[in-house]
Amino acid sequence: MKEFILQTENVSYAYEEGEGLALKGVCLGFRAGEMTAVLGHNGSGKSTLAKLLNGLYIPTEGKVTVCGMDTSDDAHTWDIRKNAGMVFQNPDNQLVASIVRDDVGFGLENIGVPSEEMPARIEKALNAVGMLQFIDRAPHMLSGGQKQRVAIAGILAMQPRALILDEATAMLDPKGRQEVFDIVQRLNREQGITVVWITHFMEEAARCERVIVMHEGRCVMDGTPEQVFTRAEEMRAMRLDVPPMVALGDLLRAKGLPVSREAMDVDAMAREVLKCQ
């Protein structure tokens, strides 16, 4: 088994002293190279978990570590930020400079990267997200999906071990959503970056290797997409859907067609249906 890059040990979090807990005793580990989807209804604690995982929040109880470093230890603040990068929902809130190049380089000074190293790092990061040809453009001229890819490049330039994306595709059109998911999946597969992909799109979760479900501040399910999405009744009880192709598969099996439970996206389902002819 690979080492944990991000780990929460019995973590609880309260926004205000004496108020209710937004997270309750969460024990989770994310191993090197894993790509995990985090699902959960509004208010279930996904964003709170994300901000704990990169040290933006410090646990009220319990412990969070990033590459073994305790997030409550101030001595590691920059090392933690550098290793666990966050991408948020709104691309417009994340771009700070007037040229893509400067935007991607923005964080590098803070982590002490020598200025002569910066151009190569910036180009490599933009290349990895397929945005190198936009290096001299103004970020506000880009599409939503392109802006998110620039935001991701800004994190990649810091050479992180983990990426935490909090509904990074929620504000994008279907094309933008697809391009951002594909890029992140490729970074996971080709560079071994650990990914925590918070989403409310079930079809995205179906494409991750592991799915976690949050409910009322607790992690209530944790398994492969197949293991989680076959618990459709429990999902519905938590006001969550299953991916469209999983629902279709259930229907077809009920009608006697032997389609596999592993077919959770359109391509896989199409192959299963064709096999039934």
Cα angle 35, 36, 37; round to 5: 130
Residues 7-46 that bind Mg ion (CB under 5 A): 46
Separation CA 243–CA 238 (nearest Å)? 15
User: Facing residues of 38 across strands?
Assistant: 198, 212
Contact 69, 119 (CB under 8 A): no
Chain-centroid distance of CA 31 in Å reads: 14
**Residue (101 or 210) nearer to ligand ADP, CB:** 210
Chain-centroid distance of CA 69 in Å reads: 20
What does the DSSP assignment read for 10-36? EEEEESSTTSPEEEEEEEEEEETT-EE
**Residue (15 or 109) nearer to ligand ADP, CB:** 15
Give the chain's end-to-end CA distance (angstroms, integer): 41
**Residue (46 or 177) nearer to Mg ion, CB:** 46
User: Which of 8, 47, 94, 169 lies at the binding interface for Mg ion (CB under 5 A)?
Assistant: 47
Q: How far is the CB of 92 from Mg ion (least distance, A)?
A: 17
Note the residues at the interface with ligand ADP (CB under 6 A): 15, 22, 40, 42-48
Could you say which of Mg ion, ligand ADP, none residue 44 binds, taking C-beta under 5 to 8 angstroms by partner kind? ligand ADP
Q: How far is the CB of 32 from Mg ion (least distance, A)?
A: 25
**Residue (48 or 146) nearer to ligand ADP, CB:** 48
Q: How far is the CB of 179 from Mg ion (least distance, A)?
A: 22
Instruction: Tell me which residues touch Mg ion (CB under 5 A).
Output: 46-47
